[in-house]
Amino acid sequence: MRTPFSLRKRKFLNPISTGHTSYILAEVESSRGGENRWGHCMLTIADCRRRVQLEFFLGTKTTRRISLKKINLLIEVLTRFRDTLIKENEVIEKFESSKSRKRSKADAKH
């Protein structure tokens, strides 16, 4: 039996060891060669208590254009968010390392 989805993928966002159930679910129903433009295209992002569902409707030429702009904008913002998290992580790591070295030097004097 052929699946009705071109894409149906769920990934958990935290390691299993945390017990947290955060996930992302991407679903794109097959257009069956273009004949079904009313399909289900949904991105779900969930954490332990909240769930956000974003629809990417492909039913008309206008909504297809809007849906593609929406996903491109999300990817752009998420990429910037990731890059900023990386930079802030590096700053925090550097600060904590410096603080730890200063503490070690102070302990060595006593």
52, 61 contact by CB (below 8 A)? no
Tell me which amino acid residue 3 is: T
Exposed / middle / buried, residue 74 (Cβ in 10 Å: 0-12, 13-18, 19+): middle
Residues 75 and 45 reside in one and the same domain: no
Looking at residue 2, what is its pLDDT?
Answer: 66
pTM of this prediction?
A: 0.81
Domain match, 78 and 45 both: no
Mean pLDDT value across residues 60-85:
98
Q: What pLDDT digit, counting tens, does each position of 81-91 carry?
A: 999 999 999 99
Say how far apart CA 6 and CA 29 lie, in whole Å. 6
Specify whether 44 is located in the same domain as 81.
Answer: no
Coil, helix or strand at residue 11: strand
The string of pLDDT tens digits covering residues 6-59 is 999 999 999 999 989 999 999 999 999 999 999 999 999 999 889 999 999 999
Domain housing 101? 71-110
Using DSSP bridges, classify how beta strands 5-12 and 41-46 pair: parallel, antiparallel or unpaired.
Answer: unpaired
Backbone torsions φ then ψ of 26, nearest 5 degrees:
-110, 125
